[in-house]
Homo-oligomer: A and B are copies of this chain.
Amino acid sequence: MSELMESRARKLGLPPGTLVHLGSDNTDPVKLSIIDYSSTQFEERHSVSVDECLPFKDRPSITWINVDGLHQLEIIEKLGKAFNLHPLTLEDIVSTSQRPKIEELDSYLFIVVKMVRQIPGENDPRVEQVSMVVGSNFVLSFQEAVGDVFDPIRDRLRNSKGRIRENGADYLAYCLIDMLVDHYYVVLETLGDRIEEMEDEVINNPSPQAIAEIHDMRRELILLRKSIWPLREVIAAMARIESDLISETTRLYMRDVYDHAVQVVETIEAFRDIVSGMLEMYLTTISNKTNEVMKILTIMATIFIPLTFIAGVYGLNFQHMPELHWKWGYALAWAAMLSVAGVMIAYFRRKKWL
């Protein structure tokens, strides 16, 4: 989220279906891991090669192949060939600036979503693309880098917690998406806390830095919204799609995630409303302060300017100035000055400036 747009320049002019990895550079080796399970059996392997994956394809059990890293195109291509993926699917998997979407192809569903994580110690949430291929008995998931939010699901598969091992590949896909959406809530909570801190700051102690912070928050919400908004449609489509790949049970669960996704989007909208109100509040507070400063200046200047004038008059060097020779001249000058000051103060009192 550090840049407004990811570059697509490298891809320009290549034929559709050409694999070009469009994402941050990554020199770690691509990691494949397999989890294969049924209600009675469980097998897990890490750092496997593509060839080791192939035998799982024809087993009746459910196979989840997770790929961490998209920069070794030959691996993606080999996997694509093995699972009969359409060239456009492969192209979309490796270009990480895709808009979230769902596509129904002959033998599988292709889903692109965004994983948003709050990494402890980082200020802004990290956004990563996750693509999924959901077949009748397999799920392929593709991530940009090692590290994700799916560990609880792996635990549930290992320990056979919940219904997960008794259901099909569609239910696994649902679990993955559900987990992603739950993490949006975590990110929103962090943002909500920051917004509340900023509100306090703007009201009590509006520093010039606050403007930049408000603008940052606003921009982050705009970009987050752009990531999450299409997700609603994806999930809605998944609950509605007429495909044998999605069972009735899973559809019901998808409707539940859909409600959560809608809530996330509505929360972002509410945050945007609040943040945009904050800038107006800031501007008004500053105007108020300027008004206060002006009042102090005006009070001081308006009281002392006439006094200084009076002092100036009796500092004149004219030879013929009768007042200068009066016995009580000096006292009278003080009296004049004090009464002018008194009148001014009374005037500001009545104006409620003092």
A→B interface (CB under 8 Å): 3-5, 7-9, 11-18, 86, 88, 92, 97-99, 101, 103, 151-153, 155-156, 161-164, 174-175, 178-179, 182-183, 185-186, 188-189, 192-193, 195-196, 199, 203, 208, 211-212, 214-215, 218-219, 222-223, 226, 229-230, 252-253, 255-256, 259-260, 262-263, 266-267, 270-271, 273-274, 276-291, 293-298, 300-302, 304-309, 311-321, 323-330, 333, 337
In the complex, chain B residues whose CB is within 8 Å of the CB of A318: 314, 323-324, 326, 329-330, 333
**Closest approach, in angstroms, between the C-beta of A276 and any C-beta of chain B?**
8
Complex partner residue of A8 from B3, B153, B182, CB under 8 angstroms: B182
Residues of A contacting B: mostly: helix
A212 / chain B contacts, CB cutoff of 8 Å:
203, 281
Cβ of B304 and Cβ of A330 under 8 Å apart? no
A13 and B162 in contact, given A3-B192, A211-B285, A285-B211 (Cβ under 8 angstroms): no
Task: Determine the distance from Cα of A311 to Cα of B101 in the docked complex, in whole angstroms.
Answer: 77
A73 shortest CB reach to chain B, Å: 16
**Min CB distance, A227 to chain B, in Å?**
10
Residues of B within 8 A of A226 (CB): 266-267, 270
A163 neighbours in B (Cβ, 8 Å): 15, 17
A-B contact pairs, 27 of them (CB 8 A): A4-B195, A8-B182, A8-B189, A12-B152, A15-B163, A15-B164, A16-B162, A16-B175, A16-B178, A18-B162, A88-B252, A211-B285, A218-B277, A222-B273, A229-B266, A287-B290, A294-B297, A296-B298, A297-B298, A300-B301, A305-B308, A308-B308, A308-B312, A311-B315, A318-B330, A319-B329, A321-B330
| Inter-chain contact A279/B281, CB cutoff 8 Å | yes
How far is B8's CA from A277's CA once the two chains are assembled, in angstroms? 26
A-B residue pairs, 7 tightest by C-beta? A15-B162, A13-B152, A311-B312, A4-B192, A297-B298, A318-B330, A5-B192
Question: A97 contacts which chain B residues (CB < 8 A)?
Answer: 263
Residues of B within 8 A of A287 (CB): 283, 286-287, 290
